[in-house]
Amino acid sequence: MDDEATTYAEMREEMVARQLAGRGITDTAVLQAFLTVPRELFVPRDLRRNAYDDTPLPIPDKQTISQPYVVAYMLSLLHLQQAERVLEIGTGSGYAAALLSQIVAEVHSVERHTALVNYARKRLQYLGYANVHVHHGDGTLGWAEHAPYNGIIVAAGGPAVPPSLKAQLAVGGRLIMPVGRKHREQWLVYVERRDETTFSEQTYSPVAFVPLVGAEGWQS
């Protein structure tokens, strides 16, 4: 390992200790994933030194890679198990998909911007995250081909939980998503599928995500 790589590993450890464990994230699979995925390789080159800052960072197409703590919090709420299949809406940089690949068996991630799809695919492939499949399309409709999912995580804020996503949850499956009437002003909403027709819903903390744009989200 060269000096630079050592420094990033140290920054990563400190981020996990301070921003995640230090704020009450206890899920060991989640913490372990954050310790292994090199966030500096998912941010624009000129922002690498800021990769472990306690903030979201800009990525192409006016999108953002979310603040580490928020991603860790959302992943924790899903209580993911190793054998599970997860759907992510909003691949962005591919960072959260890479984290998921370390926690569960199979990850499907949908992104609407072609350029981001290509970046994320290349990066994930280069880094060897072979259980992640990046799809191009409108994620508000989910990805029916590989449904049902044990977990669904939506990385953009919409006006309501898309019915298509609820329909693609397995019984016992969990979904977490930012919901709000305004762009960049949402609450984290958790949905669990109890049986074929019953869903329980809970609201957690306020968050600020980029808009979920699509047939069951905001209009572009």
Q: Which residues bind ligand SAH (CB under 6 A)?
A: 63-66, 89-90, 92-93, 95-96, 110-113, 116, 138-140, 155-156, 210, 212-214, 217
Among residues 188, 176, 216, 218, the alpha carbon closest in space to that of 87 is found at: 176
Give the residue at shortest CB distance from ligand SAH. 90
**Does residue 220 have an active-site annotation?**
no
Q: How far is the CB of 125 from ligand SAH (least distance, A)?
A: 16
Contact 160, 136 (CB under 8 A): no
Q: How far is the CB of 61 from ligand SAH (least distance, A)?
A: 6
Residue 133 token pair: 């499949």
Q: How far is the CB of 2 from ligand SAH (least distance, A)?
A: 26
Residue closer to ligand SAH by CB (options 160, 171) is 160
Q: How far is the CB of 111 from ligand SAH (least distance, A)?
A: 5
Residue closer to ligand SAH by CB (options 84, 111) is 111
What's the DSSP call for residue 66?
A: P
Residue closer to ligand SAH by CB (options 6, 125) is 125
Residue closer to ligand SAH by CB (options 57, 169) is 57
CA distances from 200 to 149, 189, 192 (A): 16, 11, 5
Residue 84 has phi, psi (to 5 degrees) of -85, 165
Paired residues of 154 in beta bridges = 89
CB-hemisphere CA count at 13 Å for 41? 18
H or E segment and range at residue 152: strand 149-154
- Is-cis flag, bond preceding 68, omega within 30? no
Catalytic residue set: 66
